[in-house]
Amino acid sequence: MPNTLSVYDPLFYATEAITALMNQLGMARAVYRGYDAAPQQRGSVINIPVPSTFAAADAPSTAQDLTAGSVSITLNRWREVKFALTDKELTFTGEQIINDHIRPAAYALAQDIDVQLMLLAKGIPWYIDVTGTAAIADVIAARKILFDNKVPMDPTRLFMAVDSDMEADLLGQSAFTQWQGSGPTGEAAQIAGYLGQRFGMNIFATQNASTHTMGTASVTALAVVGNTAAGAKTITLDAVAVTGTLVPGDTFVIAGNTQRYVVTNTVTAAANAFVGVTIEPGLAVATLDNAVVTVSLDNHVAGVAFHRDAFALAMAPLTRMGSQLGAQIETVTDPASGISLRSRLYYEANSSAIHVALDCLYGVKVLDPNKAVRLRN
């Protein structure tokens, strides 16, 4: 239905922009989304509800605490696209303004959100190495890790975001694009060029796969320093002779421990030790002094296979600050997803133009690193 609002109405820009934004979102559609209805500002910390985790117990039992079903997220991304409309441009039809200005602006905001969500892949300790030409075996290998980690295998909540190289390789597989491999969905893939749902996962390509540059640690065989309690998220690692760095996204395993871990800070070796290495998740079991650690260092482009609850996107509306000084401001929120966007209009006398600013406030976070698998390509 055509938008009949005036081009001088900020609601015109907000409604058209959020429609375009929603159509362009990739990762944001697939991850868990939280929303705070109260206006916030950059740096605000909000608590969003997340699905609770329960354990079966002998009956009768006490009620399990539901407060664990919330997580705090910092809204540290206040992103804006601003453009000016001259008197001549304001005589254009609303549809032309939508095509020339609003949609490109919304796409830029959508790209920003997608980039930040894909960067969360650095916080995932589990991985598969995609070597040579990506194949069905890579998809199945990632799915197996999720399965073995006891991730709920609900096909409506399992996703795989792949980079352009992996997309191109998979589009050459009959399981994706041939009738004999996948029936009518294969034929549709040939026409539309999308990967679609295969092997219980919704597979899609992203233009924003993150790149990981590995640390420069001179050796990958290290040891834990000191007895360390289960749950610890800061450890010290050493070796007989080690130099270089460990960086966020480097992963490792500890002998006798089936859990994988990922480094979340940059640490430079000093006196043959990496002191104060922060990790996710916390140690699954108590770890003894000199437990052997094997670090995996690899430069790669990172796709990711994941359950919806592995990552979170949190948003909140921005304030109406400026409306008292003549700016026209409207905020639109999609009721299903909580995705919110603000539009501001004001006249700039020096340029004799109407300035339009579209902005949003959000934050992202890894909710559960065991519910995702990095695709190291």
Q: What is the pLDDT of residues 119-138, one digit of tens each?
A: 999 999 999 999 999 999 99
Q: What is the pLDDT of residue 253?
A: 98
Q: Is the pLDDT of residue 143 over 70?
A: yes
> Which residues lie below 8 Å from residue 8, measured CB to CB, with a gap of 6+?
90, 328, 345, 354
Q: Give percent helix, percent strand, percent coil of the chain, each to the nearest 5.
A: 25, 35, 40
Q: What is the pLDDT of residues 236-250, one digit of tens each?
A: 999 999 999 999 999
Q: Is the pLDDT of residue 23 over 90?
A: no
CA proximity to 361, closest of 21, 77, 35, 17: 77
Token pair of 60 as six digits: 């009768």
**60 preceded by cis ω (within 30°)?**
yes
Q: Which domains, from first to last, does the chain contain? A: 10-51+71-120+310-372 (3.30.2400), 128-211 (no CATH), 214-297 (2.40.30.290)
Quick one: residue 276, left, alpha or beta (phi over 0 = left, psi -120 to 50 = alpha)?
A: left
Q: Is the pLDDT of residue 102 over 80?
A: yes
Compute CA distances 310 → 35, 82, 91, 140, whole Å: 17, 33, 47, 19
Q: What is the pLDDT of residues 168-187, one digit of tens each?
A: 999 888 888 766 556 676 66
CB 233 within 8 A of CB 280: yes
Token pair of 145 as six digits: 């890790």
Confidence of residue 66 (pLDDT cuts 50, 70, 90): low
Q: What is the pLDDT of residue 347?
A: 85
Count each helix (H run) and each strand (E run) in the chain, helices first: 10, 23
Sequence letter at residue 137? A
Q: What is the pLDDT of residue 1?
A: 46
Q: What is the pLDDT of residue 130?
A: 97
Q: What is the pLDDT of residue 7?
A: 80
Q: What is the CA radius of gyration of the chain?
A: 24
Q: Is the pLDDT of residue 263 over 50?
A: yes
